[in-house]
Each structure stands twice: as structure tokens, then as C-alpha cells.
Amino acid sequence: MTLYDVPAPAKINLFLHVVGRRDDGYHLLQTAFRFIDLCDTLHFDRRSDGRIVCEGSQPGLAHEDDLVVRAARALQSATGTSFGAQIRYQKIIPSGGGLGGGSSDAASTLLALNRLWQTGLDRRALMALALPLGADVPVFIYGQPAFAQGVGEQLSPLSLPQRFYVVIQPSEPVPTAGIFSAPELTRNTPSIIMSVFVDWQRVHAQGIGVLAGGTNSGSSSGTSSSPYFGRNDLEPVVCSRFARVRETALWLKRQGIHARMTGSGGCFFIECATLEQARLCQQEIIVKMPGSENGQTAMVENTWACPGLLDHPLRHWIRS
Ligand SMILES: C[C@@](CO)(OP(=O)(O)O)[C@H](O)COP(=O)(O)OP(=O)(O)OC[C@H]1O[C@@H](n2ccc(N)nc2=O)[C@H](O)[C@@H]1O
Ligand SMILES: Nc1ncnc2c1ncn2[C@@H]1O[C@H](COP(=O)(O)OP(=O)(O)O)[C@@H](O)[C@H]1O
């Protein structure tokens, strides 16, 4: 029994507010998760000897630390199945980018093995298994764009308009834990109710656009010139500590391009109304970037233009 070409999409945080801190040090967040069509791909063969064998492509990552392996083991011990799995995967989503690639790989592993092993867990049970693997893992099992609270596990569905994204990866990974532990991090952004974001979306649904030159229009928003809702509270901390991320942010700003950091960075996204606009914007960035050769500079590692997803591609693999 096999399952090949299982996708694990990246996520972006449309905004990210830190509204408090729990006694265990984890932070209370408010954020909007959106999946984008930038995917890792996983392949699974069922084994009857109970072993989990994973050929990942993560240099420097020990087998037992790989979130794919940890997810497989979590499902094994929760269900007592005697099956194992041979797993291979190809990474596209950069690690330490704030795109949730490892979390998404873990979620797709849970969804795929639940099917391959016929362990029959429902969505709620898989989400409970997902949370100890990482605060970001449950939303990928939830399967829909979501307004998230708590540490990221209290999820409500969001209906988001079709949008397209340029994603820019500065050539420097950012470790999530170090950003959350920064003393200077803003931890007291006032909580909002979800309808504030939903209403903002409705009002600004027509507003986003990219000008012919490739810069987004700066349609009116909650803040003076940004076309995005709220802010990412982690962005100033990441920019102050990571030179390449800061250079990228400043360069984009000087070009008049409104970009926002996703999660704990260091990737940025630019929201566009059409895929064509996203591709034009990406091309303009590639051409204009200082020292650019095929879109790679000392400052930026990679760029992509891709659609936002209306749903997770495996959403219907599981009972709600
Ligand atoms: C910041 C976010 C926003 O979506 O995304 P990424 O930048 O990682 O993609 C997430 O909250 C990250 O989720 P995830 O990457 O799964 O985090 P975890 O592995 O659970 O935690 C990594 C470390 O970040 C800190 N952490 C994480 C989440 C949270 N709500 N509060 C925290 O303080 C903790 O110090 C923890 O040790
Ligand atoms: N399969 C995996 N893919 C990517 N990162 C992984 C994986 N398994 C474990 N990790 C670890 O998780 C961290 C990055 O996780 P990821 O979800 O991609 O986060 P981020 O959104 O912060 O980039 C890194 O420390 C990496 O070593």
C-alpha cells in the first residue's frame, strides 16, 4: 500500500498579534492563517514491521527530530497500530522562514498515515495529536483558512477572497524560539474580536491591487499606508536581529512595495489581485534587487509567485 505525491502547503500569517503570555512561556496570539500553493511533497509506503524509516532532505536534522518522524510515531502510539512506514519527502518550503513547512509536513504525515494505516481518527483526534508537535500543526489538520487564538490552536473558519502572493526568502533562517524569548517583543497588543478582521476584509476586498510598475497600491487600511490588516508583532524583533531580513525589508520599502513578514520570519509576502500581477511583481524584484543573478543575491535566497489556497488540499481526507 502506497500514497505518493501527498502535498504539504505552506501557510502565511496575514497578521500576527501577540496579546499575552502563558505561565509556561508560550505566547497567546491572534492571527489569520492562509495556506498558499507552495508545497513540500511526501511519499509513503506502508511497512508491516512497525518501523518508521524516513529519507528526508533536511541537512543537519536528526531522524528522531524530524517532525515527519515524530508525527508518524505519535499516530502509532495513539492508535497502537502494528504498521510502520517508509517515508520520502522533497522540501520546497524553506525552514526558518515562518511558512510552517515542518509543521505542514507533520500534518500531512498524520493525514496520510491515518489513511494508509486505516486508523480512522477523526479531525478532532488528529488535531489533538498535532498540537504537541508544534503550535502551528493543528491548523493544517483543521484544513481551512482560520482566525487563530490561544497559542494558535483555537481556530475559527475564515472565508478569504482569492489572492495571489509573492514570497521572498531572505538568505538567513530565523529560529522561532529566539524571537518569542526576546525581551523587547511587544506582548500586550489589545485583543480584537474576529469580526473586526472579517469586517476589515469585507471593506477592503476591492482595495488590493498591484500597479503596472509592480508595487502594490497601498489601498487604504487600518493603518495609514499599509494594505494589510493590523501588524506582525514579531517583525520589528526579527528585523532588528537579522541583518539580511532587515536589508530585505528596507529594500522593499524603498521600492514602494508593501510587504509583510509571515510568522516569526524571515520570509515576506506581498499580496496581489491576480497571478499575473504577482509574477510581474516577482520579476521586478528579481531584476532590481542589488547584485541580482537569477533572483539570488547575498540578501535574498529565493522568491516565488503563487496563489493563495481557499482550502487545504487534504481537507477532505478526514471526517470532521
Ligand atoms: C510564530 C508562528 C505563527 O504561526 O509560526 P512560525 O513562524 O513558526 O511559522 C507559530 O506560532 C509558531 O508555531 P510552531 O513553529 O509550531 O512553534 P512551536 O514549535 O510550538 O514552538 C517553537 C517555540 O516558539 C515559542 N512559541 C511558539 C508559539 C507560541 N504561541 N508561543 C511561543 O512562545 C516557544 O518558545 C517554542 O519553544
Ligand atoms: N520536516 C521538517 N521540515 C522542516 N523543518 C523541520 C522538519 N522537521 C523538523 N524541523 C525543524 O523545525 C523548524 C522549522 O519548522 P517550520 O515549521 O518549517 O517552521 P518555520 O515556519 O518557523 O520556518 C526547524 O528548526 C527545523 O529544524
The distance of Cα 308 from the centroid of its chain, to the nearest Å, equals 11
Domain boundary among 124, 158, 192: 158
Q: Which three cell numbers stand for residue 183?
A: 525581551
Would residue 316 count as lying in a domain? no
Would residue 223 count as lying in a domain? yes
Q: Are residues 146 and 6 in the same domain?
A: yes
Q: Are residues 48 and 178 in the same domain?
A: no
Q: Are residues 154 and 205 in the same domain?
A: no
In the chain, which ranges are continuous DSSP H helix? 67-79, 101-116, 123-130, 137-142, 176-180, 194-204, 235-241, 243-254, 275-288
Ligand lying nearest the CA atom of residue 106:
2
pLDDT value for 224: 43
Q: How far is the CA of 237 from the centre of ligand 1 (A)?
A: 15
Examine the residue annotation and report whether 11 is marked as an active-site residue of this protein: yes
pLDDT value for 84: 98
User: In the block, which residue shows the cell 502565511?
Assistant: 12
Domain boundary among 158, 193, 227: 158
Q: Is the CB of residue 258 below 6 angstroms from any atom belonging to ligand 1?
A: no
Would residue 87 count as lying in a domain? yes
Answer whether residue 94 shows pLDDT above 90: yes
**CB atoms < 10 A from the CB of 79, how many?**
18
Would residue 314 count as lying in a domain? no
Domain boundary among 141, 158, 175: 158
Q: Is the CB of residue 173 below 6 angstroms from any atom belonging to ligand 1?
A: no
Ligand lying nearest the CA atom of residue 133:
1
Please report, for the domain that includes residue 174, its CATH number: 3.30.70.890
Answer whether residue 91 shows pLDDT above 60: yes
Would residue 292 count as lying in a domain? yes
Q: Is the CB of residue 109 below 6 angstroms from any atom belonging to ligand 1?
A: no
Q: Is the CB of residue 172 below 6 angstroms from any atom belonging to ligand 2?
A: no
| Residue count (the chain) | 320
As for how many domains the chain has, the answer is 2
Q: Are residues 118 and 133 in the same domain?
A: yes
pLDDT value for 57: 64
Q: Is the CB of residue 62 below 6 angstroms from any atom belonging to ligand 1?
A: no
pLDDT in tens, 232-251: 999 999 999 999 999 999 99
Q: Is the CB of residue 138 below 6 angstroms from any atom belonging to ligand 2?
A: no
CA distance linking residue 49 with residue 54, whole number of Å: 14
Q: Is the CB of residue 228 below 6 angstroms from any atom belonging to ligand 1?
A: no
Please report, for the domain that includes residue 134, its CATH number: 3.30.230.10
The answer to whether 50 is a known ligand-binding residue is no
Would residue 320 count as lying in a domain? no
The answer to whether 98 is a known ligand-binding residue is yes
Q: If you take atom 36 of ligand 1, which residue's CA is the nearest one? A: 177
> 312 near 143, Cβ under 8 Å?
yes
pLDDT value for 211: 37
Q: In sequence order, what are the beta bridge partners of 85? A: 46, 52
The pTM of this model reads 0.95
Q: Are residues 76 and 96 in the same domain?
A: yes
Mean pLDDT of the chain: 92
Locate the ligand 2 atom nearest the alpha carbon of residue 68 and give its number.
Answer: 1
**What is the extent of the structural domain holding 59?**
2-158
Q: Residue 293 in 3-state DSSP?
A: strand
Ligand lying nearest the CA atom of residue 238:
1
> 47 near 83, Cβ under 8 Å?
yes
> 165 near 306, Cβ under 8 Å?
yes
Which of 45, 136, 253, 311 is labelled catalytic? 136
Q: Are residues 108 and 199 in the same domain?
A: no
The distance of Cα 13 from the centroid of its chain, to the nearest Å, equals 7
Q: Are residues 266 and 292 in the same domain?
A: yes
> Ligand 2, residues 67, 110, 238: which to mutate, most atoms within 8 A of Cβ?
67
Q: Are residues 108 and 142 in the same domain?
A: yes
Q: Are residues 99 and 197 in the same domain?
A: no
Q: Which three cell numbers stand for residue 155?
A: 481556530
Examine the residue annotation and report whether 136 is marked as an active-site residue of this protein: yes
pLDDT value for 198: 96
Q: Are residues 7 and 131 in the same domain?
A: yes
Number of H helices, E strands in the chain: 9, 10
What does the pLDDT average to over 255-283? 97
Q: Is the CB of residue 29 below 6 angstroms from any atom belonging to ligand 1?
A: yes
pLDDT in tens, 20-48: 999 999 999 999 999 999 999 999 999 99
Ligand lying nearest the CA atom of residue 94:
2
Would residue 26 count as lying in a domain? yes
pLDDT value for 285: 95
Q: Which three cell numbers stand for residue 50?
A: 512497525
> 243 near 172, Cβ under 8 Å?
yes
Q: Are residues 82 and 202 in the same domain?
A: no
Q: How far is the CA of 105 from the centre of ligand 2 (A)?
A: 9
pLDDT value for 218: 41
Which of 5, 11, 37, 233 is labelled catalytic? 11
Q: Residue 77 in 3-state DSSP?
A: helix
Answer whether residue 217 shows pLDDT above 60: no
Would residue 315 count as lying in a domain? no
Q: Are residues 148 and 30 in the same domain?
A: yes
Q: In sequence order, what are the beta bridge partners of 166? A: 270, 305
Q: How far is the CA of 83 from the centre of ligand 2 (A)?
A: 26
> Ligand 1, residues 18, 103, 136: which to mutate, most atoms within 8 A of Cβ?
136
